[in-house]
Chain A
Amino acid sequence: MKTTMLEVDNLATGYGAVQALKGVSLHVDRGEIVTLIGANGAGKSTLLMSICGDPRARSGRIMLDGEDITAKPTHEIMRSGVAQSPEGRRIFPRMSVLENLVLGAQAAGQDPAQQLPRVFDLFPRLRERQSQRGGTLSGGEQQMLAIGRALMSRPRLLLLDEPSLGLAPLISRQIFATIRDLNEREGLTVLLVEQNANQALRLAHRGYVLVTGRITMSGSGAELLARPEIRDAYLGGGH
């Protein structure tokens, strides 16, 4: 039976005078991977941030598992089963890998000792590098750390912002494989923002296309991949 995990209804927000989202509606079902693709500045990251309450919604509604979280403070949203791996990874560079991971569990009230083996099994590289400082990891390892840190809070819904940013194709394929694995084995619900539309749409069950703050298209991953306008705009024509 399908149940809705996240429902965003006519969400509008912005920064100062700039209107970044102009009434976005989408939903993510439990156990689904949904991707949000779009060009630079379309508002993808703003939408993810806005779900976390920063920037706050100016109008519209955000529901998580039937609960209205539109006005909840950010730190409470992040403690209620939502985790975000933010754009640009934003790991804590001078703290060790282990400390980074522990911080992911702590605010959500999870016991780090229970969550660590799970994350280390997903990303064995992190186990090897646990005492190293975060800033000394390679880009791919930092991305693993950012996702691992988000998973430490044992989220119901994982928000991933551009996990393939600046990574070699091989590494980004590994990351995507891990996301699929998490979804299939643990039933983790994922909302994925990507510029790499090809990989993202292949991975996702469904996708939305965001253009300057509005959803212009939606459909299953395969459907969207097959549409000529998507191929032209986001897949570089005959890519």
Chain B
Amino acid sequence: MTAPAAVPALGITARLRAALVDASKATVVAFGLFFIMVGLRTDVSPTGALFLRTRWLDVALLCAAVFVSRLALALWLGRRKPEVGPAWQAAALSRAGLLFGPALLALALILPFVPGIGRYELDLGILVLTYVMLGWGLNIVVGLAGLLDLGYVAFYAVGAYAYALLAQYFGLSFWICLPLAGILAAFWGVLLGFPVLRLRGDYLAIVTLAFGEIIRIVLLNWVELTGGPNGISGIPRPTFFGLPFSMSGGPQTFAGFFGLEPSPSHRVIFLYYLILALALLTNWVAIRIRRQPIGRAWEALREDEIACRALGINITNTKLTAFALGAMFAGFAGAFFATRQAFISPESFTFIESAIILAIVVLGGLGSQIGIAVAAIVMIGGFELFRDLDEYRMLVFGAAMVVIMVLRPRGLVGSRAPSVLLGEQRRIDARFVGEGRG
């Protein structure tokens, strides 16, 4: 574990000595703990009396393990030049990011036609894209406006139930319900926004958390309307602008109309492109609006509320629009979720969903669009990848999150990359100013 000639400035022996001292200290602490916790053990003897058993070998092995790991860790960390690391990483990442985004988009566009991509992979792609969209939607509220929302799944639920109920009771089609679901969710966003206007940080988080649970519990208990825990089944599947995806192959079906062989994969491919389009719409709106005055006001709000007031920014409107817009995209995603599953129940809208979406936003780096997409792929895709590990995958998942947060504490793509600004230092014409990108 010695690094040859990596850091010539600091002698190998000096580093080794420091590492040895550090490892010895850790071992002493470990011995103090293990001496009691492992070394001494009370057991019940056959006669029923307690007796003390000693396990000195185990203690010795554990202490040796601590010593070796600590030594390896110290040498490995000492090898890095801390002041060079992050800057170098950031520069490389931002350079790669310029190509990475378009490449990712191109891959997403051709994915259904890549050889070897089957039904399972497409379904996973749909799931990942749903979370990408939810992440981008929540990013408006948390990443841009800085309002910590732990109940985001409530708006997802509102969208899903809006479509399911409108379709069930009024027979409305998916394409009419999609905007309605978004509007309804936005309405609930404003409704949540009003009571929490004066709250920030922890207090806001608690109230939004409660709001998410209220929505779920109402859905669970309002049996006459929502079917309660049984959920709503038989939700109409989406049509291709009126042409259903049916296996009959008749002239009024998608396959028949276009003269294709009827195949169940048509619908999956259609759903894939639908959620891709919805996610890209979310992304486009978020990117555009960030350069508008309202987007700048959101970011200013995240930075300092009192300064915003001093500049004449209307805090009420700014907060409510952030809540409403974020909720609207969750509503769209919810309607999509309902039509894809054809069955929804309150079980799909538990707190863990909010937590996962928030984790995606935080892991991706608050405010970064591409970081959120990568985080969603890593989190949702990674979850699938380790399916064979059963319950251990939570362990892998937790460890991965800790590692990411240690290595990149500001998320995969750290905050507002200043490199975008540095190259444009001299550009101060009106167009540039109007965009306010600085």
Say whether A associates with B.
yes
Please give the distance in Å from B433's CB to the nearest CB on chain A. 5
Q: Once the chains bind, are A92 and B430 in contact (CB under 8 Å)?
A: no
Interface size class on chain B is 20 to 34
- Give every chain A residue within 8 A of B57 (Cβ-Cβ): none
- Give every chain A residue within 8 A of B428 (Cβ-Cβ): 98, 116, 130
Closest 3 CB pairs of A and B: A96-B438, A78-B312, A98-B438
Q: Once the chains bind, are A106 and B303 in contact (CB under 8 Å)?
A: no
* B18 interface contact, C-beta 8 A: no
Contacts between the two chains (Cβ within 8 Å), count:
112
Q: Once the chains bind, are A103 and B300 in contact (CB under 8 Å)?
A: yes
Assembly CA distance A170 to B314 (angstroms): 37
Please give the distance in Å from B85's CB to the nearest CB on chain A. 19
- Give every chain B residue within 8 A of A97 (Cβ-Cβ): 438
B438, closest chain A residue (CB):
A96
Residue in contact with A92 in the complex, picked from B300, B315, B415, B437, CB distance below 8 Å:
B300
Residue in contact with A94 in the complex, picked from B415, B422, B424, CB distance below 8 Å:
B415
Q: Once the chains bind, are B293 and A112 in contact (CB under 8 Å)?
A: no
* A79 interface contact, C-beta 8 A: yes
* A133 interface contact, C-beta 8 A: yes
* A153 interface contact, C-beta 8 A: yes
Q: Once the chains bind, are A92 and B310 in contact (CB under 8 Å)?
A: no
- Give every chain A residue within 8 A of B424 (Cβ-Cβ): 131
* B234 interface contact, C-beta 8 A: no
Residues of A in contact, count (CB < 8 Å): 39
Can you identify 24 A-B contacts, CB atoms within 8 angstroms? A83-B311, A85-B310, A90-B304, A90-B306, A91-B307, A92-B300, A92-B304, A93-B304, A95-B416, A96-B418, A98-B437, A99-B438, A102-B438, A103-B311, A103-B436, A104-B311, A106-B297, A107-B293, A107-B311, A108-B311, A112-B436, A131-B421, A132-B418, A132-B421
Interface residues of A in 101-122 (CB under 8 A from B): 102-104, 106-108, 112-113, 116
Please give the distance in Å from B306's CB to the nearest CB on chain A. 6
Q: Once the chains bind, are A116 and B313 in contact (CB under 8 Å)?
A: no
Assembly CA distance A104 to B308 (angstroms): 9
Q: Once the chains bind, are A86 and B422 in contact (CB under 8 Å)?
A: no
* A173 interface contact, C-beta 8 A: no
* B296 interface contact, C-beta 8 A: yes
Assembly CA distance A91 to B422 (angstroms): 20
Please give the distance in Å from B301's CB to the nearest CB on chain A. 9
* A62 interface contact, C-beta 8 A: no
Assembly CA distance A131 to B422 (angstroms): 6
Interface residues of B (CB under 8 A from A): 293, 296-297, 299-300, 303-304, 306-307, 309-315, 415-416, 418, 421-422, 424-425, 428, 430, 433-434, 436-438
Please give the distance in Å from B385's CB to the nearest CB on chain A. 34
Contacts known (A75-B314, A78-B312, A84-B310); A102 close to B436, Cβ less than 8 A: yes
Assembly CA distance A113 to B415 (angstroms): 27
Please give the distance in Å from A150's CB to the nearest CB on chain B. 8
Q: Once the chains bind, are A102 and B309 in contact (CB under 8 Å)?
A: no
- Give every chain B residue within 8 A of A86 (Cβ-Cβ): 306-307, 310
Q: Once the chains bind, are B434 and A95 in contact (CB under 8 Å)?
A: no
Contacts known (A90-B304, A103-B300); A108 close to B312, Cβ less than 8 A: yes
A60-104 CB mask vs B (1 if < 8 Å, else 0) is 000000000000011111110001111000111111111100111
Given contacts A94-B299, A98-B428, A103-B297, 16 further A-B contacts (CB under 8 A): A75-B313, A78-B309, A86-B307, A94-B415, A95-B300, A95-B438, A96-B418, A102-B436, A106-B293, A107-B313, A112-B433, A116-B428, A131-B421, A131-B425, A131-B438, A133-B416
